[in-house]
Amino acid sequence: MTASIRTSATPSRDDFSGRLLRGSVKKSFEPIVDIDWDAPLDPDKFFLPPKVVSLYGTPMWDAMTRAQQIELSRQELVNTLSAGIWFENILNQALLRDLMHADPTSNATHYALTEMGDETRHMVMFGKAIERLGAKPVQPRRYQRIIINALPLTFKGSLLWVAALVGEEIFDSLQRQMMDDPDLQPMVQRLMRIHVTEEARHIQFARDGVRRRVREMPRLNRWWVANLNGVGGVFFQHLFTNPVQYRRVGLPALEARAQARRSPHRHQVQAGGFAPLAAFLEEVGLMGPVARRLWRRTNFLPGGPVTPAAPDESVEDGAEDVYEGPATLRVADEDHAVRARLTGHLSPIDGKYHWRGTVFGTLTDEALKRPEALLTANGRTAAARIAERTAQGGYSVTGMGTPPFG
């Protein structure tokens, strides 16, 4: 019998969260060591692909030197990373408040906590990136900080999940379009790939939360959420054309902002970034008339019908390939029937498949003196190392190369 974990067509919130939890174990990053912060920056590479810089395609852009264009891309990236930090701060505050009312034993709670851990590491990653770029973070003014800090108090229930999607999906879809651009600094590519991989799970969690709640929402509440999300368009327009970034490059800030906001190319980039979320809001009936007008007025929605961008198949959420079932552990020429829970991932650092997990069973003291073992599960055998005895009576095992499951 193999007991690879599979999900049914309509899993419960708890099953769905359990799947995301397993995905997080399998594929998460530690930016302190997963990004080479010491690698030199290439002075001739952009920090955002030129096409995504707000002024691209405007007369002001054409009049700039390549060095100025690169500098603007650096300042725009810093502006975006800074906003990313405030946004993740808001989300974590809102999630933590929400958990005070949640069941601490449920998978959904555990996944929310895991997501908060991801966001905490993202804030470290963004902060380190700003420092590495040698730029000053963009700080909101005092009154803006007070407003930002008050937002988590208002994000409850469905509004929390819709706000999370507005904050995550637009960045996510822009990052997916950018991260493989050969003109981009390798450090930024790496940062984006790490972020996109972990955000894929956050977006699934928030979308699932919206889908479930939307069915039972009272009409007035639904109207409110469906229309309030349009404020996201106004917020992003302000963010993407923040005068600070132009001023830092020595450009006339207000004229630069006006040209960026008028730019048809910019409108296209924004609409491409918003398209997946727009399609989702339409699908679940949360694109109200006021929201539609706001998204359109800020040029995130084109006049015509919405075509969602094709999902990037090269980024997986890491939720597959968990083995749970019987196995045989051979230590010191003795076979032990055990139960195993195993998972693994292809390491982006050394390019090898690393797997690990826990086996449950009774091993003799003699066997435990030898860490080297052979583990057979699902008909395949692989060399394993017994790392430690866990407090729950199991044994942690690790291995590298083709795993004994799969």
- Where do contacts with Fe ion occur on this chain (CB under 5 A)? 119, 122, 168, 199, 202
**Please, what sign has the CA dihedral across residues 333, 337, 341, 342?**
positive
Three-state secondary structure along 12-62?
A: CHHHHHHHHHHHHHHCCCCHHHHCCCCCCCCCCCECCCHHHCCCCCCHHHH
Q: What's the min distance (Å) between Cβ of 389 and Fe ion?
A: 36
Q: What's the min distance (Å) between Cβ of 88 and Fe ion?
A: 5
Beta-carbon neighbour count of residue 218 at 10 Å?
Answer: 8
User: Measuring CA to CA, which residue among 106, 89, 97, 90 is closest to residue 20?
Assistant: 106
- Tell me the C-alpha distance between 274 and 79, whole Å: 19
Judged by beta carbon, residue 17 or residue 227, the one nearer Fe ion is 17
Q: 251 and 241 in contact (C-beta within 8 Å)?
A: no
Judged by beta carbon, residue 76 or residue 168, the one nearer Fe ion is 168
Q: What's the min distance (Å) between Cβ of 228 and Fe ion?
A: 20
Judged by beta carbon, residue 195 or residue 266, the one nearer Fe ion is 195
Judged by beta carbon, residue 166 or residue 278, the one nearer Fe ion is 166
Q: Which tokens go with 247?
A: 């001023």
Judged by beta carbon, residue 60 or residue 277, the one nearer Fe ion is 277
Q: What's the min distance (Å) between Cβ of 193 and Fe ion?
A: 13
Beta-carbon neighbour count of residue 383 at 10 Å?
Answer: 13
Q: What's the min distance (Å) between Cβ of 263 and Fe ion?
A: 28
User: Which residues lie below 8 Å from residue 289, measured CB to CB, with a gap of 6+?
Assistant: 227
- Tell me the C-alpha distance between 24 and 114, whole Å: 8
Q: What's the min distance (Å) between Cβ of 386 and Fe ion?
A: 36
Judged by beta carbon, residue 85 or residue 133, the one nearer Fe ion is 85
